[in-house]
Amino acid sequence: MKKDEIPHDLGALGKITKEVCYAVDESGKYTTALSEGWEVKATALDVAWNDVEGRIADAKQRVLNNEASPLLFLMEVKLMDIPIVAAYTGFWKWQVKRHMQPSVFKKLSDKKLQRYADVFETTVDNIKNLKFQ
């Protein structure tokens, strides 16, 4: 793309920051330039965030229906998956997956729940009593 063809559609962060793009200048060399956004990219991001919001709502409903533990909801809110949660908590991946079962989750000690609370930046009480954000 040529430097004068860089899109300047107001994106999601257009009022806050600008994005660095690579473009070809008048002499045919690559250079950087600032863009305020691109409508196509903003639309794609909106679609992605709508998907995330849907997954959060689904996870919340599964927790309320006692089909999953609150860990599922918290993982969706924080955009984490099992390997990431395992890495931050020090639990094995299979343990995190097992802790996502409501019957197993209810038996977890406060010490183990505190490890999850630290990762999800909440309290053990909030996790135990399903106090969602």
Confirm whether 133 is domain-assigned: no
Residue 22 belongs to domain spanning: 3-37
pTM for this predicted structure: 0.75
Give bridge partners of residue 127 from the DSSP assignment: none
- CATH number of residue 95's parent domain: 1.10.260
Residue 133 has pLDDT above 70, yes or no: no
Residues 56 and 117 in one domain: yes
Q: How many structural domains comprise the chain?
A: 2
Residues 73 and 18 in one domain: no
Residues 63 and 110 in one domain: yes
> DSSP assignment of 42-111, as one string?
HHHHHHHHHHHHHHHHHHHHHHHTTSS-HHHHHHHHTT--HHHHHHHH---HHHHHHHTSHHHHTT--HH
Residue 4 has pLDDT above 90, yes or no: no
Structure tokens at 35: 């863009």
State the chain's mean pLDDT as an integer: 88
Confirm whether 43 is domain-assigned: no
Give bridge partners of residue 22 from the DSSP assignment: 32
Confirm whether 44 is domain-assigned: no
Please, is 1 exposed, middle or buried when counting C-beta atoms within 10 Å of its C-beta (0-12, 13-18, 19+)? exposed
Check: CB of residue 54 under 8 Å from CB of residue 40: no
How far is 21 from 35, CA to CA, in rounded Å? Answer: 7
- pLDDT digits over 79-102, tens only? 999 999 999 999 999 999 999 999
Residues 20 and 58 in one domain: no
Q: Which DSSP letter does residue 36 get?
A: S
Residues 16 and 69 in one domain: no
- pLDDT digits over 8-34, tens only? 666 666 667 777 888 888 888 888 888
